[in-house]
Amino acid sequence: MRYEYLHPRDELVLTMQRIYRYKMTTTSGGNLSILDENGDMWITPTGVDKGTLTPNDIVCVRADGRVEGLHQPSSEYPFHKAIYAVRRDLRAVVHAHPMALVAFSIAHKVPDTRLFHQAWRSNGTVAFAPYGTPGSEDLGNKIAQKYAEGFDSVILENHGVCCGGATLQDAFQKFETLEVCCKVLIKAHTIGEPKYLTDQQLQLQSKSDSPIESFEYDPTMMTIREKDLRNQLCKFVERGYRQGLLTTTTGTFSARIDSEKFLITPYPLDRHSVLPEELVMIRKGKKEFGKHPSRAVFSHQAIYDAQPTVGAVINACPINAMAFAVCHRTIDTYTIPESYVFVREVGLLPFETVFNDLATLTRALTPQSPATVLCNNGVMVAGESVLAAFDKLEVLEHSAEAVLDAQPIGGHVAMSQQIIDDLIETFHLGRPSSQPAVPRARRKPRSR
C-alpha cells in the first residue's frame, strides 16, 4: 500500500489497527500523530477503544490551537507538540506501551540496537527519558530534551516508548523494529550472552546495496508459472507477517521460475502487504528494469546456481530463532520428530558469510541441510517450493521457541542418536554430508 496517498485520518487509523492487532498496545494505551504541511496536528483521541477506532474519531489540532473533531485529543498531546517544536524534520510520532519495551522501561535499561542491522539502521542509539506525570508539560519537556539532542527513539522511564519519523510509516517501523529488538534480547538472555555488530560489520551490510544490471521486462511474456509464483510469494509474505515470522522491515522471499529466472521481494518493502507486480524478476543475474530487489539477491542467486532442486529461499528474523542468532548458537532440532524431519541439522554461519563468502553459504544450505542460522542476521531456509520453504521456516521458529521455553523448566532433553537414525531410515532422509555432525555435547540437556 502507498501510505503517502492516504489522508492522515486514514493512515492513523490503519496504523493504530496494526499496532493493536499485533499486540503492541492495549485498548486504552498508545497514541499516534501526524503533523501536516500547514502545521495542523492529526492525533488519536483520548478515551476511545483502540480496537474500534475509525477515521471520524481522529482529532485535528490546528496550528492556532483550535481543536476540531468528535473527541478531545490524546492526553499525551503535550509531548507530541513538544517533540515537533524541537525537531522540524519529524512529521509523525508513535507512542505506546508494548510489552518488551515496557520491560526495558521498568528495568531502566536501553536496548543496544546493534543487535541486528535493521534495528540499528532504523533506530540508531536509543535514549532514556526520566519519569514525568502522564500528560504533563514536565513529561513533554523531558522527552523533547532527548529529541533536541538528536535521538529519534526514546524509552520513557516506567512508562513506554516514543518514536519519531519523517512519516508515520517511518516512525511505526522504528517502533516495531525496536520492540522486536527488545523481544530478541529478552529471549537471548535465557540461553547466553547476546553479541553485537561491530562498526565494520554494519558497514559491510550498508555496502551490500551493490548496483545490479537491468533488463527490459515485458509483462506480456509472463507465463502461467510466473503468475502463479508471483501470487504465491505475496500470500506467503503476508502470512509470514501475520504469523510473526517477518516484520515490516525484515524478511526476503524468492522463488525459482526456471533455470535462468527467479522472483524476489523488493527493497524496500512493507511485509504487511505486497502486490504481485512489486516483486522483482532476476534473469541471468540482471534485474527487471526500474525495480530494486532485496539486498539478499546475490545470496539467493548463488543458492539457485549451486542447488538445482531448490525452488524457494527465505531469509527471516523471527524472534525465537533470532535469539539463537544473536548468541551465535545453532538451533537443536533433536527435539521432536517434526523438527528433525523437516529442518534436519541446522547450520551456523558467521555474519560475514552472506556478504563475502557465498561459496560457504551454498555448501551449507542444501536440500539435505535446508536451514542455517546467520549470526546477528536471522535464519535462511531453502525448499523445493514456496510452501516447503515456508514450512521449514515455521518449524524452525517453533523449534527455537520450544527450546527457549524449556529453559526455565530444566532445559530440553535431546532425542538420542538412535532415534535420529531411525527417523533417517523411516523417512528416507539421507545423511547430511556437507555439514558437520551436531556436537555430542549439544544433544545433552542443559540441566536436569
Nearer to Zn ion, 135 or 276 (CB): 135
Nearest approach in angstroms of CB 138 to Zn ion is: 14
Nearer to Zn ion, 28 or 356 (CB): 28
> Which residues in the 283-302 window bind Zn ion by CB under 5 A?
none
Nearest approach in angstroms of CB 120 to Zn ion is: 25
Nearest approach in angstroms of CB 97 to Zn ion is: 6
Nearer to Zn ion, 160 or 165 (CB): 160
# residues near Zn ion by CB under 5 A: 1
Nearer to Zn ion, 81 or 398 (CB): 81
Nearest approach in angstroms of CB 29 to Zn ion is: 6
Nearer to Zn ion, 25 or 265 (CB): 25
Nearest approach in angstroms of CB 208 to Zn ion is: 37
The cell for 166 is 519523517
Nearest residue to Zn ion, by Cβ distance, number only:
160
Nearer to Zn ion, 140 or 160 (CB): 160
Whole-angstrom distance, CA of residue 222 vs CA of residue 238: 23
Nearest approach in angstroms of CB 95 to Zn ion is: 6
Nearest approach in angstroms of CB 186 to Zn ion is: 21
Nearer to Zn ion, 160 or 370 (CB): 160
Distances (CA, A) of 152 to 95, 146, 170, 262, 310: 12, 8, 11, 38, 41
Nearest approach in angstroms of CB 25 to Zn ion is: 9
The site map against Zn ion for 110-149 (x = CB under 5 A) is ----------------------------------------
> Which residues in the 151-190 window bind Zn ion by CB under 5 A?
160
Nearest approach in angstroms of CB 183 to Zn ion is: 19
Nearer to Zn ion, 132 or 432 (CB): 132
Nearer to Zn ion, 72 or 385 (CB): 72
Helix 168-188, helix 99-106: angle, nearest 10: 70
Residues interacting with Zn ion, by CB under 5 A?
160
